[in-house]
C-alpha cells in the first residue's frame, strides 16, 4: 500500500461528533463482518443476499473514510471535519443503505436503467474513487481510471488489444450492480474474511501477544552476534504472519529493532533495509499472507489450506536467506550481541507468554482438521485470545471488556482502507469482464512472449514490479491475477504456481526502487538515505526475485509433489544454495572472502538452488554446485584456521 494507506486509519480526535461517529461506524463495520464469519445472520433466520450486506458495509466504510480522512488544508486543525465531508459521509451511508434495501429490485431492472439505478451506481463510482484516493493515494485511482478510459475507447484500437464497445451508462450500472463488479468476490473476501482476522490481530496486540513476540525474539536471538538484526527478522516474521501489512509491521517492530540495530553497529541503511525486508516478508508467511491467501483460494477454487501449505517453503527460504545475511553482515562488521542487561530470560518469557501460542494452534486446527472456513477459524482464534487475555494476559497487559470494545472499533476503522481497495479491485475486474479486455491482454502477453515460458516469466516479473509500485498489496494481487495469470496458465504454468509467482514479484515493489515504500518508510525511522536503503533491501530480499522462477518449473518447492524424497532433496539443496549465495553477496563466509571466492560461492549457490526435477540437466547443475560450494567451504576453513594460528602466534 501507499505509506498513507498501509498504516491504520488515524484514531479519532478526542470528544465531539467525530469520535461518536467513528466509534459507531467502526463498531458496526467490525461487528457486521464478525457476525457474517460466525454465521449469526443465518442462525437468526435473516434471509438476504450477500450483495445487500456488502452494500451496507461499503456505505459505512465510505462514511468512515470521509470522516476520519477529511479534505482539509495542510494548516487546518485535525479536530475539524469540513461540513461538505459530513455531507459526503451522510450521502455514502444513505447510498449504501438504499442499495442494500433495494438491490433485488434494482438488479431485476438492470437493463431498463431506471433513474435510481443510474444515480446510485454513479454515486458509488465517484464516492469509492474519492474514498480510495484519500485512503490509498493516487496510484490505484489512476489505474482504475486508466482501465475505465480504455474501456470506452478500446473498441477503436486495432489488433489483439481491441475490446467490445460499451456505452458509458451501461458500464457504470454493470460495475455497480453485477457480481462481477463492485459487489463481487474481492469485496466479499475483504469484508467477511479480512475483518475477523484484523480483529484477531487487534486482540492479540491488546492482550500482550505482540509484546510476547518481541520478548521471545529478544530472548532467543539477543545472545548471538548481530542479535538485534536477528530479533528484527524473527519478530517481524511472527507479527507479519498475522498482520501482513508492511508499514504496520514496521511500526510495530521497527520502532524497537531499528534503533537497537543502529546502536549495536549496523549502518542506518542496513538496519532499515533488514527491517523493511523482514516486514515485507510477512505478506508471504502463512496463515494470513496479507489477506491474499483467502482470495487466492477462491480464485483457484481450492482450499485455503492448500494455499498456505504451498506458501510455506518459499516463505521460509525468504526468511532463512534474510537471517543468514543478517548474521554474515554482523560477522563482517564485527557486530556483537545485544547487551546482556537488555535480554530477558527465555524461561521467564516463555512462562509468562506460552499461552499466546494456543490461539495459533486453534486457528490451524480449525482450518486444517475441522475444515472450517477461514472466517470461522478466525472467530475461534479470537475467542481463544479473549480467554487467555482475560485470564492471564502478558505482564501488565490484560484484556478488559472496555479494551475488547476498543479492539472492535479499531478493527472496523482499520478495515475501511481494505474495503476501499477491494471495491476498486471489483471495478477493475468488472471492466475486464464487460469489455473482454482480460482475454485480449492474455493473447497480447502470450504473443509478446512468443510462446516461450521463460521469456514470458521475465516479462511478467517486470510488469509485476512496475504495476505494483505504490499500490496496496490486495490491489496489486488482484490486478496481476486478472492481467498476467491467464497468460502464464495459457503457456502451461500451473494455476497455483502462476498465482504464487505474481504474489511474490508484485510484493517486491515494496522494496524495489524507485518507489520502495517499505524501504523508504523504514529509512525514515532509521534516519538513513532512502535510495541506499532501497538498494540494500533488494539485496537482503534477493530470494523473492529468484525462487518464484524456480517453483514455476518445480512443484516440489510448493510441496505439490507426491514424492517426499523429491521434496526433501529440493528443499535441502535450496537451503544450502541460499547460504552460499548469501555468503557470496555479503562477501563473508568463515572470513572476509576474496573476490574470486565470492563469485564461486554465488555461482555454486545458484546451481544448488535449481530443483533436481526442474529439467533433465538440473542434477548435473546440482553436482557442479555442490563441488563449487565444497571448494569454497574448504578454502574458507583452511584460510580461517591459518588466520587463527597467525593470531595466536602474534599474541604470544
Report d(CA 317, CA 558) in Å as an integer.
12
For the cut 50, the answer to whether the pLDDT of residue 297 exceeds it is yes
Which triple of cell numbers denotes residue 567? 521434496
Report d(CA 433, CA 486) in Å as an integer.
13
The pLDDT of residue 78 is 54
Task: Return the closest-CA partner of residue 610 out of 601, 620, 600.
Answer: 620
Residues in the chain: 652
For the cut 90, the answer to whether the pLDDT of residue 150 exceeds it is yes
- Are 279 and 250 in contact, with CB atoms under 8 Å apart? yes
Report d(CA 503, CA 167) in Å as an integer.
34
Output b/e per residue, 28-55; b: 16+ Cβ within 10 A.
Answer: bbbbbbbbbbbeeeeeeeeeeebbbbbb
The pLDDT of residue 17 is 86
Which triple of cell numbers denotes residue 81? 471535519
Task: Return the closest-CA partner of residue 276 out of 220, 306, 232.
Answer: 232
The pLDDT of residue 10 is 42
Report d(CA 549, CA 465) in Å as an integer.
14
Angle between helices 453-468 and 473-483 in degrees, nearest 10: 150
Look at residue 397 and give its three-state secondary structure: strand
> 392 burial class (0-12, 13-18, 19+ CB within 10 angstroms)?
middle
Look at residue 534 and give its three-state secondary structure: helix
Output b/e per residue, 285-294; b: 16+ Cβ within 10 A.
Answer: bbbbbbbbbb
For the cut 80, the answer to whether the pLDDT of residue 15 exceeds it is no
Long-range pairs for 210-216 at CB < 8 Å and ≥24 separation? 210/239, 210/252, 211/353, 211/394, 211/395, 211/397, 212/349, 212/352, 212/353, 212/356, 212/394, 213/238, 213/239, 214/253, 214/256, 215/344, 215/349, 215/353, 216/346, 216/349, 216/350, 216/353
Task: Supply the Cα-derived Rg of the chain in whole angstroms.
Answer: 26
Report d(CA 239, CA 594) in Å as an integer.
38
The angle subtended at Cα 137 by Cα 541 and Cα 510, nearest 5°, is: 0
For the cut 80, the answer to whether the pLDDT of residue 290 exceeds it is no
Mean pLDDT is highest, among 146-150, 454-458, 528-532, 642-646, for 146-150
The pLDDT of residue 652 is 60
For the cut 90, the answer to whether the pLDDT of residue 474 exceeds it is no
pLDDT digits (tens, 9 = 90+) for 319-336: 999 999 999 999 888 888
- First-last CA distance in the chain: 59
Report d(CA 605, CA 629) in Å as an integer.
7
Mean pLDDT of 203-207: 89
The pLDDT of residue 275 is 92
Report d(CA 260, CA 524) in Å as an integer.
15
The pLDDT of residue 193 is 85
Other beta carbons within 10 angstroms of residue 263's beta carbon come to: 13
Residue matched to cell numbers 486457528: 363
Running DSSP on this structure, what letter comes out for residue 339?
P
Report d(CA 92, CA 59) in Å as an integer.
5
Task: Return the closest-CA partner of residue 66 out of 51, 79, 53, 84.
Answer: 84
The pLDDT of residue 95 is 97
pLDDT digits (tens, 9 = 90+) for 357-412: 899 889 888 887 888 888 888 899 999 999 999 999 888 888 999 999 999 999 99
Task: Return the closest-CA partner of residue 535 out of 515, 511, 554.
Answer: 511
pLDDT digits (tens, 9 = 90+) for 401-446: 999 999 999 999 989 988 998 899 899 989 988 998 888 888 888 8
For the cut 90, the answer to whether the pLDDT of residue 610 exceeds it is no
- The DSSP string of 318-358 is HHHHHHHHHHHHHHHTT--PPPGGGPPPHHHHHHHHGGGGH
Give 9's pLDDT tier (boundaries 50, 70, 90). Answer: very low
Mean pLDDT of the residues in the chain: 86
Task: Return the closest-CA partner of residue 309 out of 356, 357, 361, 364.
Answer: 364
The pLDDT of residue 104 is 93
pLDDT digits (tens, 9 = 90+) for 220-257: 988 888 888 898 898 888 777 776 677 777 877 787 88
Q: What percent of the chain has pLDDT over 70?
A: 94
Check residues 244 and 302 and name the one with the higher pLDDT: 302
Amino acid at each position: 500500500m501507499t505509506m498513507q494507506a498501509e498504516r491504520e486509519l488515524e484514531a479519532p480526535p478526542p470528544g465531539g461528533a467525530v469520535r461518536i461517529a467513528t466509534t459507531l461506524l467502526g463498531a458496526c463495520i467490525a461487528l457486521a463482518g464478525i457476525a457474517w464469519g460466525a454465521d449469526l445472520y443465518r442462525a437468526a433466520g435473516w434471509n438476504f443476499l450477500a450483495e445487500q450486506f456488502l452494500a451496507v458495509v461499503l456505505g459505512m466504510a465510505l462514511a468512515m473514510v470521509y470522516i476520519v480522512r477529511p479534505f482539509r488544508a495542510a494548516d487546518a486543525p485535525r479536530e475539524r471535519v469540513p461540513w461538505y465531508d459530513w455531507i459526503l459521509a451522510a450521502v455514502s451511508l444513505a447510498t449504501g443503505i438504499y442499495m442494500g434495501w433495494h438491490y433485488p429490485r434494482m438488479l431485476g431492472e438492470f437493463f431498463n436503467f431506471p433513474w435510481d439505478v443510474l444515480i446510485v451506481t454513479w454515486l458509488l463510482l465517484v464516492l469509492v474513487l474519492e474514498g480510495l484516493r484519500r485512503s490509498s493515494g493516487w496510484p490505484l485511482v489512476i489505474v482504475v481510471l486508466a482501465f475505465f478510459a480504455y474501456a470506452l475507447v478500446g473498441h477503436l484500437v486495432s489488433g489483439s488489444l481491441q475490446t467490445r464497445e460499451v456505452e458509458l451508462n451501461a458500464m457504470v450500472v454493470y460495475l455497480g450492480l453485477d457480481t462481477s463488479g463492485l459487489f463481487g468476490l474481492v469485496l466479499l473476501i475483504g469484508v467477511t474474511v479480512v475483518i475477523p482476522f484484523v480483529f484477531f490481530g487487534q486482540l492479540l496486540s491488546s492482550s500482550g501477544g505482540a509484546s510476547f513476540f518481541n520478548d521471545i525474539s529478544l530472548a532467543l536471538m539477543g545472545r548471538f552476534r548481530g542479535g538485534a538484526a536477528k530479533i528484527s527478522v524473527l519478530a517481524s516474521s511472527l507479527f507479519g504472519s498475522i498482520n501482513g501489512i508492511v508499514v504496520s509491521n514496521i511500526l510495530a517492530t521497527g520502532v524497537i529493532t531499528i534503533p537497537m540495530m543502529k546502536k549495536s553497529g549496523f549502518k542506518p541503511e542496513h538496519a532499515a533495509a533488514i527491517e523493511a525486508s523482514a516486514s515485507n516478508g510477512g505478506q508471504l508467511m502463512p496463515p494470513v499472507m496479507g489477506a491474499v491467501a483467502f482470495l487466492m483460494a477462491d480464485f483457484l477454487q481450492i482450499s485455503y489450506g492448500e494455499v498456505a501449505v504451498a506458501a510455506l517453503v518459499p516463505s521460509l527460504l525468504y526468511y532463512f536467506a534474510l537471517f543468514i545475511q543478517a548474521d554474515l553482515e554482523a560477522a563482517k562488521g564485527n557486530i556483537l550481541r545485544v547487551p546482556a542487561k537488555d535480554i530477558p530470560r527465555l524461561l521467564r518469557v516463555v512462562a509468562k507468554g506460552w499461552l499466546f501460542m494456543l490461539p495459533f494452534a486453534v486457528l490451524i486446527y480449525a482450518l486444517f482438521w475441522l475444515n472450517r472456513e477461514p472466517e470461522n477459524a478466525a472467530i475461534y482464534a479470537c475467542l481463544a485470545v479473549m480467554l487467555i487475555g482475560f485470564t492471564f494476559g502478558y505482564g501488565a497487559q490484560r484484556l478488559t471488556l472496555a479494551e475488547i470494545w476498543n479492539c472492535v472499533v479499531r478493527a472496523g476503522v482499520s478495515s475501511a482502507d481494505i474495503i476501499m481497495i477491494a471495491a476498486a479491485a471489483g471495478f477493475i475486474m468488472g471492466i475486464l469482464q464487460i469489455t473482454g479486455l482480460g482475454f485480449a491482454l492474455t493473447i497480447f502477453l502470450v504473443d509478446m512472449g512468443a510462446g516461450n515460458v521463460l521469456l514470458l516469466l521475465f516479462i511478467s516479473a517486470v510488469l509485476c514490479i512496475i504495476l505494483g509500485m505504490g499500490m496496496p498489496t490486495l490491489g496489486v494481487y488482484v490486478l496481476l491475477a486478472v492481467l498476467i495469470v491467464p497468460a502464464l496458465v495459457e503457456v502451461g504454468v500451473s494455476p497455483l504456481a502462476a498465482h504464487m509467482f505474481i504474489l511474490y514479484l508484485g510484493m517486491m515493489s515494496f522494496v524495489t526502487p524507485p518507489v520502495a515504500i517499505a524501504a523508504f518508510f523504514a529509512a525514515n525511522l532509521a534516519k538513513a538515505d532512502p535510495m541506499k536503503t532501497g538498494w540494500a533491501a533488494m539485496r537482503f530480499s534477493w530470494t523473492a526475485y529468484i525462487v518464484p522462477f524456480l517453483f514455476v518449473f518445480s512443484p516440489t518447492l510448493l510441496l505439490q509433489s507426491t514424492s517426499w524424497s523429491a521434496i526433501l532433496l529440493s528443499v535441502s539443496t535450496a537451503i544450502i544454495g541460499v547460504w552460499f549465495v548469501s555468503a557470496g553477496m555479503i562477501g563473508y563466509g568463515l572470513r572476509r572472502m576474496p573476490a574470486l571466492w565470492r563469485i564461486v560461492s554465488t555461482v555454486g549457490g545458484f546451481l544448488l538452488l535449481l530443483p533436481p526435477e526442474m529439467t533433465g540437466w538440473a542434477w548435473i547443475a546440482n553436482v557442479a554446485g555442490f563441488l563449487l560450494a565444497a571448494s569454497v567451504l574448504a578454502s574458507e576453513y583452511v584460510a580461517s584456521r591459518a588466520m587463527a594460528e597467525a593470531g595466536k602466534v602474534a599474541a604470544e
